[in-house]
């Protein structure tokens, strides 16, 4: 009763070697060296931007809680909480982290772990003092 159906189609597979990746990496390094304004964004600035983005997603109702964010980002809920704790910092500190406008917070001087302890302090003035203390060391 049922006739067998066959489908014929053609496709091509093109293998990319490792050389293509190396050329791309070398190209971006060369571009960065020739134009210093194309510097890499520090990790802590990316975390700060991510925290702001996560907060917007929750506010808009795209996700309901940190657990949803963790599932979507393939990270633990604890990691999402660490990132979101950056929103507890004083607004001036958040701005410095985002734009790195203050030389006291240089590239790589402040780590996420140190900012976690600062964010537990509810007083913004004390937070600023603690940050200056960390930046001096």
Q: Whole-prediction pTM value?
A: 0.68
In sequence order, what are the residues at sequence separation of 6 or more whose Cβ sits closer than 8 angstroms to the Cβ of residue 107?
42, 100
At 103, is the pLDDT very low, low, confident or very high (cuts 50, 70, 90)?
Answer: very low
pLDDT of 62 higher than 60: yes
Residue 6: the pLDDT is 64
- Of 62, 89, 66, nearest in space to 78 by CA: 66
Can you tell me the mean pLDDT for 80-95?
95
Would you give the end-to-end CA distance of the chain in angstroms? 83
Contact 110, 135 (CB under 8 A): yes
Contact 104, 135 (CB under 8 A): yes
At 14, is the pLDDT very low, low, confident or very high (cuts 50, 70, 90)?
Answer: low
Centre a 10 Å sphere on the Cβ of residue 121 and count the other Cβ atoms it contains: 17
Contact 76, 82 (CB under 8 A): no
CA 25, distance to chain mean position in Å, is 20
């Amino acid at each position: 009763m049922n006739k067998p159906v066959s489908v014929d189609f053609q496709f091509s597979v093109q293998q990319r070697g490792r050389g293509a990746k190396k050329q791309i990496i070398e190209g971006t390094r060369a571009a960065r060296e020739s134009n210093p304004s194309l510097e890499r964004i520090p990790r802590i600035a990316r975390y700060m931007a991510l925290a702001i983005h996560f907060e917007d997603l929750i506010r808009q109702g795209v996700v309901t809680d940190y657990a949803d964010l963790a599932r979507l980002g393939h990270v633990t809920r604890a990691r999402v909480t660490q990132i979101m704790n950056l929103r507890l910092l004083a607004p001036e500190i958040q701005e410095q982290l985002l734009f790195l406008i203050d030389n006291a917070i240089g590239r790589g001087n402040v780590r996420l772990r140190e900012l976690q302890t600062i964010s537990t302090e509810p007083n913004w003035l004390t937070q600023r003092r603690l940050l200056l203390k960390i930046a001096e060391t």
